[in-house]
Amino acid sequence: MFRAVREWWLSGRGKHTAGLFAFELTVVMIGVLAAQQASNWAEKRAALKQVEGLHRDLYHSFDIYRAIAATNRVAIPCLEERVDLILQRANDEGDIDPDLLLSASLMGMAPDQISPENEQLLRERFGDTTADKIGSVQFNLSTAERSGSEIERRWFEFQRLNPKHGPVSDADRSAVRQTAVQIKGSLFALRKSSDTLLRLMALLQVPHRPDVTIRPIMTCDQMWQSGKGYVEGR
C-alpha cells in the first residue's frame, strides 16, 4: 500500500492533487477571513451607530443639567446669606425664628452611566476633545451630586437652634456653627461645579431644548416662600 502511494506521488499526479488542495484551502481561508472582517465591520458599525444614539441622549440630558446649573448660580447666594444669618444667631443668646431654619431644595444632578466600552466608542466617533469634555461633565456632575446631598443632609442640623424642641444649649450652638461652616464649603463646591458645567455645555455646543422649562428664581424671597431654589414651568 505504501509502495502504491509512493508511486502515485512520484508520478506527478499526487503533487498536482496536493497543489489543487492547497489552492482550494487558501481560497476557503481567504473567504473565512473576508467573512470575519465583514462581520467585524458590521458589528463595529452597529456599535458606532449605537454610540451616536448615546451621544444624542447625553446632549439631551446636558441641556437639563445646564438649566439646573443656572438655577444653582442664582440660588446659592441666597443660601449662603441664610447660612451666615444662622451662624450669627448661633453666636447670640436669644432665640431664632424657626422659619429661618427651613431649607430650600435644589434640583439634583447625577452622572450618566457611561461604560468604558462606550467611552472608547465616543472617542473613536467624536474625537478625544469631545470625549474628554464629556468626561469632565461626568466628574462635575458627581461633585454636584455629593455637594447637594451634603447640603440637604446637614441643613437639618440647624434644627438644634429651634426653641420649639426645647432649650438651646451651648453645645447646640457650637454644633450649628460647625455645621454652618461645612455647608458653606459644600455650597462653594456646588457653585464651582455648576460654573464648570455651564462652561462645558458652551464648549460642547449643547443645543437648547424647547421642552426644558427649569429656570432660576427671581429673588431670594421667592425661593424662601416656595421652598425651592428653582422654578418649573413656563
pLDDT one-digit tens code per residue, 8-51: 545 655 555 555 555 555 655 665 555 455 455 456 666 667 78
In a domain, 192, yes or no: yes
Q: Is residue 87 part of a domain?
A: yes
Q: Is residue 231 part of a domain?
A: no
Task: Give me the pLDDT at residue 184, please.
Answer: 97
C-alpha 103/C-alpha 187 separation (Å) is 13
| Residue 234 included in any domain | no
| Number of domains observed in the structure of the chain | 1
Query: In the chain, what is the straight-line distance between the N-terminal and C-terminal CA atoms, in Å?
Result: 95
pTM over 0.85: no
Q: Contact at 8 Å (CB) between 58 and 141?
A: no
Q: Which one, of 192, 157, 186, 191, lies nearest residue 87 by Cα? A: 157
The answer to whether residue 185 is domain-embedded is yes
Q: What is the pLDDT of residues 189-225, one digit of tens each?
A: 999 999 999 999 999 999 998 889 999 999 999 999 9
Per-residue pLDDT averaged across 92-97, rounded?
86
Domain enclosing residue 134, as ranges: 2-226
pLDDT (0 to 100) of residue 5: 47
User: Is residue 167 situated within a structural domain?
Assistant: yes
Q: What is the mean pLDDT of the chain?
A: 86
- In whole angstroms, what is the distance from residue 29 CA to residue 129 CA? 40
Is residue 233 in some structural domain? Answer: no
User: Picking from 32-46, 70-84, 120-134, which range would have the lowest pLDDT averaged per residue?
Assistant: 32-46
